[in-house]
Amino acid sequence: MPQNFLEWVWLVPLLPLLSALVMLLVGRSLPRAVVSWLCCGTVGLSFLVSLGIFRTLASLPAAARVYEKVLFTWLPAGMFQTAAGLAEFRIEWGYLVDPLSAVMILVVSGVGFLIHVYSVGYMAHEGGYYRYFGYLNLFMFMMLTLVLANNLLVMFVGWEGVGLCSYFLIGFWFLKKSAADAGKKAFVVNRVGDAGFLLGIFLISTTFGTLSFTQINAAVAAGQLSLGSGVITAITLLLFMGATGKSAQIPLYVWLPDAMEGPTPVSALIHAATMVTAGVYMVARTNALYQLAPLTLEIVAVIGALTAIYAASMGLVQNDIKRVLAYSTISQLGYMFLACGMGAFATGIFHLSTHAYFKALLFLAAGSVMHALSNETDIRKMGGLWNRIPLTARTFLIGGLAIAGIFPLAGFFSKDEILWRTFSNTDYPVGFRQVLWGIGLLTAVMTAFYIFRLVFFSFFGQSRVPREVEHHIHESPPVMTIPLVILAALSIVGGWVGIPAALGGSNPFEDFLAPVFQSHAAAASVEATAQGHGLELGLMGVSLVAAAIGIGIAYLFYLRQPELPDQWAFRFSRLYKLLFNKYYVDELYSAVFVEGPLLGKTMGNSFARFDLKVIDGIGVDGTGWFTRFSSRLSIWWDTWIIDGSVRALGFTVRLLSWPVRVIQTGFVQAYLFLMATGVVVFFFYYVIRYRDEIRQLLQLR
């Protein structure tokens, strides 16, 4: 009975929901053992179900690998005006099983299950045990709903749901102010993106008259919209805005580093493996639209590449182990978007899954380290732990190798796939794609560097652990280490499902996903055959070298000559500070969006502060660079280009924040008045625009 498992798809999200409800209703009074067994059990079960679904799906012929189960009609809202004439707006709550969602639920529930188990050990001594697991399971439900949704609105429910849960979990220790603030920050920043997403949904519904993915794809296949038309570009851009919010891309990435305030397993599950990848998934899910909007794809690619290198550069100098991992997550997400931008959606998903393995592994291992050092996160207070907590250290090393992209670990295949696609994507002009590839390569170097900086800092060298912590360093209990081991294994073999043809593999992963991404998968494979494997192999070699260089520098800096980093930090102190303070972007945002609405005085102050720091920052560091060649040149450069640009920046920022400032009177009736005016205007528009329809409609009575 092969269909059976597909019939059971609704179980996948339902199981976690049940235990979540139990937790949040009566959890307080349950003993911890029950809580752990119940929560992990339900997630494990839904993992098994998804495994079954996956196997059933794989057993079907490639063409038949789509199964849509409608549970009930959610919003039967009647007729409404669309670009394609009157259409009936009805939203069905349904689950769509196809290769893409199958892979996703497998990753989500699998990694989720491991992290649940790990949490049992990690949270053992924490209060609010049931609350934690309740939120975690609720998150699983929402995430699975998001992944399985058969239309954009249900997806949006999941989308908001995971945002909510992440808010809960970031602020899990809500008595700690920083945690509560971080939660709020994440929530607010995500609202910005979600607004875009929502607008995109509106636009889609008024364009296609439906939100169901299958129907949208059908409409696209029927050629309802022309390639690169304005509407489709707008839609895709809006959707991508949502993606940048959820997946922490420029400019909305700021919330993710702070989100590390939450418990480490949460960072692993939500802010590394699953939720933050929702944006990538959404882009891949709506690839049919994106493929019609080359402009958007280009933007996606650029944003992805920039985010990748930008975040990596910030990761270089952070001292908080979790923050480094957070920045690395951001930059890896950048890779995924780069892939999507290249139209290689399957590759993006591939990297998504491998990244889920090794990044979850890294986070959990980091958590285990913190566990051993009584919640110390500053790597400068670690070191020499290689033999003190052997299992954790080794698994962490494996994760590091994987993310650095060392053959034959998981990261290698996915990352190189991305780089190769970028390099050899013929949709883009020659210079452009090589530049992107270069950025990707540089990022790879940085990645290898900062990850091994972590490794050497925390596990090798002489111990810098404070005395009082020193004596009770201990390896974590098996309930925590076993998931580590499993994830380590996954990050080794995880990539082998996607061994490219160049290495004699047949990339079954992408073939499996191919039906979801019709055209481009085909195009890509055509390219592959066309260009032969020489180039691909060459690129692999290059990136391997890059990774090696990164590791080498890290080795040189942190094992061979530990004094070097400080010297460099001193010599390029401005640059160092700039990186260390994350380019002052938080300050900038707070200046514009938070304090901007205040009156000019605070504006002036914030800008004065901003200008001061950045002018000095970039300016003097510019001098630092250019004294190498000529101080006069550098002075000229400093005064005119740098200061000028920064002043221009500050000016534009002030200019931009002006309307915000004016509207935000804080006077209730002013807001009400704006609302009323909106009503008036729209009403006016509709009365004029649709007067005949109104007449007809009213005659019907």
80 makes contact with other proteins (CB under 8 A): no
Minimum CB distance to other proteins smaller for 419 or for 591? 591
Coil/strand/helix, residue 151: strand
55 contacts 1 by C-beta, under 8 angstroms: no
We find the least distance from the C-beta atom of residue 655 to other proteins, in angstroms, to be 21
Query: Any contact of residue 695 with other proteins (CB under 8 A)?
Result: yes
| Nearest residue (CB) to other proteins, 79 versus 663 | 663
Of residues 551 through 590, those in contact with other proteins by CB under 8 A are none
Contact 359, 328 (CB under 8 A): yes
Specify the DSSP class assigned to residue 320.
B
- Closer by beta carbon to other proteins, 570 or else 667: 667
Choose between 534 and 666: whose C-beta lies nearer to other proteins. Answer: 666
Query: Structure tokens of 546?
Result: 């890059």
Choice between 228 and 600, CB closer to other proteins: 600
Side chain identity, residue 180: A
The per-residue b/e assignment along 241-273, b for 16 or more CB within 10 angstroms, e otherwise, is bbbbbbbbbbebbbbbbbbbbbbbbbbbbbbbb
CA-angle at 294, arms to 288 and 298, nearest 5° = 115
Task: Name the minimum Å distance from CB 667 to other proteins.
Answer: 5
Contact with other proteins (CB under 8 A): which of 62, 493, 612, 694?
Answer: 694
To other proteins, the closest distance from the beta carbon of 611 in angstroms equals 25
Confirm or reject binding of residue 640 to other proteins (CB under 8 A): no
For other proteins (CB under 8 A), the number of binding residues is 25
Q: How far is the CB of 370 from other proteins (least distance, A)?
A: 35
Those residues whose C-beta lies under 8 Å from the C-beta of residue 694, and which sit 6 or more positions away, are 687
Work out the end-to-end distance of the chain between its first and last CA atoms, rounded to an integer number of angstroms: 53
Task: Please count the other Cβ atoms lying within 10 Å of the Cβ belonging to residue 670.
Answer: 12
Q: Report in angstroms how near the CB of residue 695 gets to other proteins at its nearest.
A: 6
- Please, what is the minimum distance in Å from the beta carbon of residue 675 to other proteins? 10
Stretch that binds other proteins, among 34-42, 209-217, 574-582, 689-697 (CB under 8 A): 689-697
Q: Is 551 in contact with 455 (CB distance < 8 Å)? A: no
**Please, are residues 80 and 87 in contact by the beta-carbon 8 Å criterion?**
yes
Burial letters 67-83, b for 16+ CB under 10 A, else e? bbbeeeebeeeeeeebe
Name the minimum Å distance from CB 48 to other proteins.
36
Note whether 333 and 312 are within 8 A (CB): no
Mark residues 657-686: x for contact with other proteins by CB under 8 A, - for none.
-------xxxxxxxxxx--xx-xx--xx--
Spatial distance between the Cα atoms of 434 and 431, rounded to a whole number of angstroms: 5
Nearer to other proteins, 7 or 693 (CB): 693
Looking at the Cβ atoms of 25 and 672, the one nearer to other proteins is 672
Which range binds other proteins by CB under 8 A, 106-114, 184-192, 579-587, 690-698?
A: 690-698
The strand ranges marked E within 477-595 are none
> How far is residue 104 from each of residues 47, 96, 124, 147, measured CA to CA in Å?
11, 12, 29, 7
Minimum distance from CB of 184 to other proteins (Å)? 13
Among 597, 624, 627, 628, binds other proteins (CB under 8 A): 597
- Sequence-distant (≥ 6) Cβ neighbours of residue 280 within 8 angstroms: 243, 247, 333, 336, 337, 340, 348, 349, 352
Residue 181 or 320: the one with the smaller Cβ distance to other proteins is 181
648 binds other proteins (CB under 8 A): no
H, E, C per residue of 60-106: CCHHHCCEEEEEEEEEEEEEEEECCEEEEEEEEEEEEECHHHHHHHH
Taking the complex as a whole, the smallest distance from the CB of residue 696 to other proteins amounts, in Å, to 10
Distance of closest approach, residue 589 Cβ to other proteins, in angstroms? 16
Residue 75 lies near other proteins (rule: CB under 8 A): no
Quote the least distance from Cβ 77 to other proteins, whole Å.
17
Length of the chain as a residue count: 701
Looking at residues 257 to 276 of the shown chain, list those that interact with other proteins (rule: CB under 8 A): none
DSSP, collapsed to helix, strand or coil, labels residue 212 as strand
The reply to whether 3 sits near other proteins by the rule CB under 8 A is no
Report the nearest approach of other proteins to the CB of residue 173 (Å): 25
C-beta of 59 vs 664, nearer to other proteins: 664
Nearer CB in complex with other proteins: 522/697: 697
**Does residue 605 touch other proteins according to CB under 8 A?**
no
Q: How many CB atoms lie within 10 A of CB 434?
A: 13
Residues making contact with other proteins (CB under 8 A): 597-598, 664-673, 676-677, 679-680, 683-684, 687, 691, 694-695, 698-699, 701
